[in-house]
Amino acid sequence: MVRRFGRKRAGEIAEMGFQFRASLRGLRVAKPFGDSFPYDFITDNGWNRWLVQVKSTFFRRACGSYAIKCQKGTGLKSRRYRSREVDFLAFYIFPVDAWYIMPLKALGKSRSVVFYPDGDGTKGKYEQYREAWHLLTERG
């Protein structure tokens, strides 16, 4: 059974998971002090350094999908991330233990993304980014 946490605690746990999984793949991972930066981690693969923002969800929608907002801030002050602020977003879906590693440019103008991790891979335009850790680890 998956335990649900408050939003802040779930985010912290997802960040710990990202750091662990990225480190297992040979990435050097740095966490800036505090939470006033638009990114959660700086990753270094020896050739590139990437700024990564981690997002997560527990909530499965009735249609079997998971939606995650990919914006900075809340309410009227919310806006899309800018390319000078973040290179990648890492989305974690707790109930199915699935990661989606996506370059910011793949989002276009979207402020949210919808994933279908329980499906056969034919639904959802973001399935190509499921467990796409290679995007962070390859020379680019």
Mean pLDDT of the chain, nearest integer: 89
Instruction: Considering only the C-alpha atoms of the chain, give the largest distance between any 2 of them, rounded to a whole number of Å.
Output: 43
Measure the N-to-C terminal CA separation of the chain; round to a whole number of Å: 39
Residues 6+ away with beta carbon under 8 Å from 43: 22, 27, 28, 29, 30, 49, 50, 52, 136
Global pTM?
0.91
User: pLDDT at position 18, please?
Assistant: 98
Burial level of 67, CB count in 10 A (0-12/13-18/19+)? Answer: middle
pLDDT at 140: 67
Q: Are strands 79-80 and 28-30 parallel, antiparallel or unpaired?
A: unpaired
Structural domains of the chain, ranges and CATH numbers in brackets: 7-137 (3.40.1350.10)
What are the pLDDT digits (tens) for 74-116?
777 788 889 999 999 999 999 999 999 999 999 988 888 999 8
Q: State what percent of residues in the chain have pLDDT above 70.
A: 94
